[in-house]
Amino acid sequence: MEIVKKTAPPTGLRRRLWRLPIRLYGMGLGPILGHRIMLLTHTGRVSGRPRRAVIEIVQHDEHGYVAASGFGPRADWYRNVIATPDVTVQVGGKTFQARAVPIAADEGAEIMARYAPRHPFAARQLCKLMGFAVDGSVQDYREVGRRIPFVRFTTHA
C-alpha cells in the first residue's frame, strides 16, 4: 500500500453530483440505491443544524451498520458524528435512530480486509478516492483499513 496523494472532499459541481443520492432519498427513491447505501442525518458540530450525507455501508451485522470515512477524519459527516453521536439512518425504506461509535484501527483493518474480496471493484475505487495505491493483497487492504476511520451505527435499544 502506498499513499499516492492526499484527497479532499469534492467541491463545486463534483460536490453537487456527489450529493445527488440525497435528493433521491428526499424524493422517496432511497430504496433504488439498494442496501449498501445509507442516508445519514446528523447534527452539524458548529451550526447545530441537521445535516445529511449519503455513505456506503461496508458491513452490516447484528452490531449495526459500518461505514468508512473515505475522506478521512476531516470529512464533515465524520467530525459531526464524533461530536454528536446520536443520528438517524435510512437504509432503503427503513429509517431508525442510531448511535455512531468510532471503531479502533485494528478492527477497521479487519473490516477492510473482509470488504475488499466481497467488493473488489468498489474497494479499489474507494482506495483510489482516498489516495491509496493498493496491489490487491489482503495485507494492503488491512493497511488502508488502519489508516481510515470507520464508524459503527448501532440501533438504539
SS (H, E, C) 66-104: EEECCCHHHCHHHHHHHHCCEEEEEECCEEEEEEEEEEC
Q: Pairing state of beta strands 94-103 and 64-68? A: unpaired
For the full predicted model, state whether its pTM sits above 0.75.
Answer: yes
DSSP letter (8 states) at residue 31:
G
Q: Which CATH number fits domain 2-155: 2.30.110.10, 1.10.540.10, 3.90.400.10, 1.20.1050.140?
A: 2.30.110.10
Length of the chain: 157
pLDDT for the residue 114 = 96
Does pLDDT of 93 surpass 60?
yes
Does pLDDT of 16 surpass 80?
no
Does pLDDT of 157 surpass 60?
no
Domain ranges of the chain: 2-155
Angle at 128 between CA 152 and CA 124, to 5 degrees: 70
